[in-house]
């Protein structure tokens, strides 16, 4: 067993190269960025976000990855198996420099019990989505998706704004922390419950959350006053969601909008059962993991039952991608799926056009590079009002964590177009160092997750996971800088398979060709996946953009 370490990862910045090429350097800096104190939730344990989503299996593996990336040639490819570097092969300059497979298990073994057994033996690692594939950029990475979700909800339910409404949610972790800011960006009031005071403080420090309260009555009073005044405000309320929601019902409070982003996908590490302080929970998790999971699942059932009651009383309720409905259903809450998941409710039309959480990060560490790219984006897409509004708002309200980065939901065609703009800016020296371009696995064509991204597909193909595999393969063929294939991200073991891709714009002509290929096929797989499932918007997009689909009726 390795001794507990309090290591601090210090990332490289600036224009000086340490590896043998910018792609290797990019992988190195993005790995380090995932574990930056400002970015990761528990960097001392290599945990980046989402329960126990890690960037490397252990510190020994981390050191070996760093050493290998520093020595890796421009015609070699490093293979990572669940956070451990296992081989370096000769490949060629256009091949990915790194290929990663994280947390994959043969389907009949794909459950948490088996995963934990292997994890204990040091044979596997939970990669979540962007943790194990080195393109996590902190809460900012999710904030636009969360903003777009609440904006669409506001359009559908409240005439386009959350003004004079209260949104109730729980979970202020790496991803969930984006909720309060997204609600206030849509002019609403948000109460976000978290059982861990440190998480509340962290979100206040990073400007994602406005105020903290430890008292339910006080939080309800402040929220009510802000709602009446039409003033955007977010309140972090200390407490356990499974305890607070029933109390709110007792007190006669009902929110206008209701969701949850605790790490319910992982009953052992991501959810605290009712009646336990954080310290007591940590002790029980270690002493009696079976009892912990049992109590945690029971609390989730209570939590979902309260959500269903609030829904019946009129709250617009949706699942926010943490699989809490499935756990509650397994615990006997028959109507757990009465509220929809956020993808079918608000996001799928975007996926049909290949739109999703596209992002880029400045390897220089210089915020000025991102500002210049923002300006280029505003010029290039000046007719897209929604996009321009987003960029201006992001500039004003989002604090960078780690390497400066920007999240921007671009679709098919626009990603490749903007990839070239960025590469040209690197080539001309307008930005000071290469730019890393990537995306979340929660994207249009890169994930099979029947309780989340592929819930309620029109043709019933929710669980077909050929799609993320094809997505990874074509991105590797096209020359993405690193490509990953994961299992269990977002919703836990057995419930998802997904792939990631990252590509470096280093200003070379070679990069320009690779960017054109990969930034076309990657969102293109989103259009194809949805067109194949029968979505008219995707079929129209495929036809208009000239995507070749041999069996699509022309
Ligand atoms: P995280 O593990 O960093 O944070 C979870 C938070 O929940 C912690 O702050 C924890 O203290 C809190 N919590 C746990 N039990 C609680 C309880 N009973 N009451 C109140 N608070 C409690 O996780 P994260 O990265 O923020 O992700 C949250 C969930 O959202 C995960 O399941 C993740 O897979 C999912 N997710 C959703 C999306 C999306 O777009 N919807 C994207 C990524 C991840």
Cα radius of gyration (the chain)? 22
Residue to mutate, 262, 305, 323, 449, ligand 1, most ligand atoms under 8 Å from C-beta: 262
> Average pLDDT of 241-251?
98
Nearest Cα residue to 333 out of 345, 319, 344: 319
Distance 219 CA to ligand 1 centre (A): 21
- What's residue 140's pLDDT? 84
> Strands 166-170 and 189-194: what pairing?
parallel
Residue to mutate, 55, 131, 175, ligand 1, most ligand atoms under 8 Å from C-beta: 175
Domains of the chain, residue spans: 142-340, 347-545
Q: Is the pLDDT of residue 265 over 70?
A: yes
User: Does this model's pTM top 0.90?
Assistant: yes
> Average pLDDT of 201-228?
97
Q: Tell me: is residue 507 an annotated ligand-binding position.
A: no
Instruction: State the CB neighbour count (10 A cutoff) for residue 235.
Output: 23
Mean pLDDT of the chain: 96
Distance 407 CA to ligand 1 centre (A): 20
Nearest Cα residue to 147 out of 490, 414, 408, 344: 408
- Going by pLDDT thresholds of 50, 70 and 90, the confidence category of residue 306 is very high
Q: In ligand 1, which atom is closest to the CA atom of 265?
A: 32
- Going by pLDDT thresholds of 50, 70 and 90, the confidence category of residue 139 is confident
Q: Tell me: is residue 210 an annotated ligand-binding position.
A: no
Query: Which residue's C-alpha comes closest to atom 9 of ligand 1?
Result: 173
Give the chain's end-to-end CA distance (angstroms, integer). Answer: 60
> Is residue 66 a contact partner of residue 78, using CB atoms and an 8 Å limit?
no
Residue to mutate, 176, 178, 346, ligand 1, most ligand atoms under 8 Å from C-beta: 176
Q: Tell me: is residue 174 an annotated ligand-binding position.
A: yes
Q: Tell me: is residue 176 an annotated ligand-binding position.
A: yes
Q: What pLDDT, in 10s, does the model give residues 154-169?
A: 999 999 999 999 999 9
Q: In ligand 1, which atom is closest to the CA atom of 241?
A: 19
Residues in the chain: 554
Multiple choice CATH, 142-340, 3.10.20.600, 3.40.50.10730, 3.30.1330.10, 3.90.25.10: 3.40.50.10730
Instruction: State the CB neighbour count (10 A cutoff) for residue 378.
Output: 15
Distance 270 CA to ligand 1 centre (A): 7
Helix then strand then coil, % of the chain, to nearest 5: 45, 15, 40
Does residue 76 line the site of ligand 1, with CB under 6 A? no
Cα–Cα dist 266/46, whole Å:
17
Instruction: Compute φ and ψ for 169, nearest 5 degrees.
Output: -150, 175
Give the 3-state secondary structure of 142-207.
HHHHHHHHHHHHHHHHCCCCCCCCEEEEECCCCCCCHHHHHHHHCCCEEEEEECCHHHHHHHHHCC
- What's residue 2's pLDDT? 43
User: How large a percentage of the chain has pLDDT more than 90?
Assistant: 96
Does residue 50 line the site of ligand 1, with CB under 6 A? yes
- What's residue 6's pLDDT? 76
Q: What pLDDT, in 10s, does the model give residues 410-436?
A: 999 999 999 999 999 999 999 999 999
CATH of domain 347-545: 3.40.1770.10
Q: Is the pLDDT of residue 1 over 70?
A: no
**Residue 342 region by backbone torsions, left for phi larger than 0, else alpha for psi between -120 and 50, else beta:** alpha
> Is residue 476 a contact partner of residue 487, using CB atoms and an 8 Å limit?
no
Query: Which residue's C-alpha comes closest to atom 44 of ligand 1?
Result: 490
Distance 279 CA to ligand 1 centre (A): 18
> Is residue 83 a contact partner of residue 56, using CB atoms and an 8 Å limit?
yes
> Average pLDDT of 492-501?
98
Q: In ligand 1, which atom is closest to the CA atom of 273?
A: 18
Query: Which residue's C-alpha comes closest to atom 27 of ligand 1?
Result: 50
Cα–Cα dist 128/489, whole Å:
4
Distance 172 CA to ligand 1 centre (A): 7
Q: What pLDDT, in 10s, does the model give residues 61-119?
A: 999 999 999 999 999 999 999 999 999 999 999 999 999 999 999 999 999 999 999 99
Instruction: Compute φ and ψ for 525, nearest 5 degrees.
Output: -65, -30
Does residue 141 line the site of ligand 1, with CB under 6 A? no
> Average pLDDT of 188-195?
98
Q: State yes or no: is 408 an active-site residue.
A: yes
In the block, tokens 């696995």 appear at: 441
Q: Tell me: is residue 497 an annotated ligand-binding position.
A: no
- Going by pLDDT thresholds of 50, 70 and 90, the confidence category of residue 15 is very high
Q: In ligand 1, which atom is closest to the CA atom of 492?
A: 34
Q: Tell me: is residue 346 an annotated ligand-binding position.
A: no
Does residue 271 line the site of ligand 1, with CB under 6 A? yes
- Going by pLDDT thresholds of 50, 70 and 90, the confidence category of residue 388 is very high
> Is residue 401 a contact partner of residue 39, using CB atoms and an 8 Å limit?
yes
Q: Is the pLDDT of residue 46 over 90?
A: yes
Task: State the helix-helix crossing angle for 178-185 and 385-397, rounded to 10 degrees.
Answer: 120
- What's residue 554's pLDDT? 62
Q: Is the pLDDT of residue 548 over 60?
A: yes
- What's residue 478's pLDDT? 98
Selecting among 190, 352, 388, 408, the annotated active-site residue is: 408
Q: What pLDDT, in 10s, does the model give residues 332-387?
A: 999 999 999 999 999 999 999 999 999 999 999 999 999 999 999 999 999 999 89
Residue to mutate, 145, 149, 173, 441, ligand 1, most ligand atoms under 8 Å from C-beta: 173
Distance 430 CA to ligand 1 centre (A): 38
Burial of 405 (0-12, 13-18, 19+ CB in 10 A): buried
Distance 249 CA to ligand 1 centre (A): 23
Query: Which residue's C-alpha comes closest to atom 17 of ligand 1?
Result: 240
- What's residue 274's pLDDT? 98
Cα–Cα dist 15/22, whole Å:
10
Element (H, E) at 466: helix 466-478
Q: Tell me: is residue 208 an annotated ligand-binding position.
A: no
Query: Which residue's C-alpha comes closest to atom 15 of ligand 1?
Result: 271
Q: Tell me: is residue 458 an annotated ligand-binding position.
A: no
Q: Is the pLDDT of residue 231 over 60?
A: yes
In the block, tokens 């689909």 appear at: 549
Q: In ligand 1, which atom is closest to the CA atom of 41?
A: 3
């Amino acid at each position: 067993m390795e001794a507990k370490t309090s290591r601090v990862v210090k990332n490289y910045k600036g224009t000086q190269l340490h590896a043998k090429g910018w792609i290797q350097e990019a992988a190195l800096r993005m790995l380090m960025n995932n574990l930056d104190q400002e970015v990761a939730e528990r960097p001392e344990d290599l945990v980046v976000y989402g329960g126990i989503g890690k960037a490397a299996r252990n510190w020994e593996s981390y050191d070996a990855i760093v050493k290998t990336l520093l020595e890796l040639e421009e015609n070699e490819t490093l293979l990572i198996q669940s956070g451990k570097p296992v081989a370096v092969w000769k490949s060629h300059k256009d091949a990915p420099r790194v290929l990663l497979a994280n947390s994959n298990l043969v389907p009949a073994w794909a459950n948490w019990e088996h995963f934990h057994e292997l994890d204990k033996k040091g044979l596997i690692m939970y990669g979540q989505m962007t943790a194990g594939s080195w393109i996590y950029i902190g809460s900012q990475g999710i904030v636009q998706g969360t903003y777009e979700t609440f904006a669409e909800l506001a359009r559908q339910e409240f005439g386009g704004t959350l003004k004079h409404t209260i949104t109730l949610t729980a979970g202020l972790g790496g991803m969930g922390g984006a909720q309060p800011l997204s609600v206030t960006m849509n002019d609403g009031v948000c109460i976000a419950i978290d059982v861990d005071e440190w998480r509340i403080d962290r979100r206040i420090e990073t400007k994602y959350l406005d105020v903290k309260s430890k008292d339910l009555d006080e939080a309800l009073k402040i929220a009510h006053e802000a709602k009446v005044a039409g003033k955007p405000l977010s309140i972090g309320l200390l407490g356990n969601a499974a305890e607070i929601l029933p109390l709110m019902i007792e007190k006669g409070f009902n929110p206008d909008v209701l969701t949850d982003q605790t790490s319910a996908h992982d009953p052992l590490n991501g959810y605290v059962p009712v009646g336990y302080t954080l310290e007591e929970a940590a002790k029980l998790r270690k002493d009696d993991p079976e009892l912990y999971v049992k109590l945690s699942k029971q609390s989730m059932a209570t939590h979902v039952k309260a959500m269903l009651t609030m829904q019946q009383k009129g709250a617009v309720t949706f699942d926010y991608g943490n699989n809490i409905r499935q756990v509650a259903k397994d615990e006997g809450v028959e109507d757990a799926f009465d509220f929809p998941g956020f993808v079918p409710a608000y996001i799928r039309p975007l996926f049909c056009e290949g739109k999703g959480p596209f992002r880029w990060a400045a390897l220089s560490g210089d915020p000025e590079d991102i500002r210049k790219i923002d300006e280029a984006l505003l010029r290039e897409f000046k007719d897209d009002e929604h996009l321009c509004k987003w960029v201006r708002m992001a500039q004003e309200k989002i604090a960078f964590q780690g390497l400066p980065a920007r999240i921007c939901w671009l679709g098919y065609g626009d990603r490749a177009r903007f990839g070239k703009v960025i590469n040209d800016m690197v080539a001309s020296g307008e930005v000071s160092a290469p730019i890393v371009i990537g995306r979340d696995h929660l994207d249009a064509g890169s994930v099979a997750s029947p309780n989340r991204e592929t819930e309620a597909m029109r043709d019933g193909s929710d669980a077909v996971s050929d799609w993320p595999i094809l997505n990874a393969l074509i991105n590797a063929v096209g020359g993405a800088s690193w490509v990953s294939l994961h299992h269990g991200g977002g919703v836990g073991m057995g419930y998802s398979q997904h792939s990631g891709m990252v590509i470096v714009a280093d200003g070379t002509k070679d990069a320009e060709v690779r960017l054109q290929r990969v930034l076309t096929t990657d969102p293109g797989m989103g259009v194809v996946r949805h067109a194949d499932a029968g979505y008219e918007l995707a079929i129209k997009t495929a036809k208009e953009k000239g995507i070749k689909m041999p069996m699509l009726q022309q």
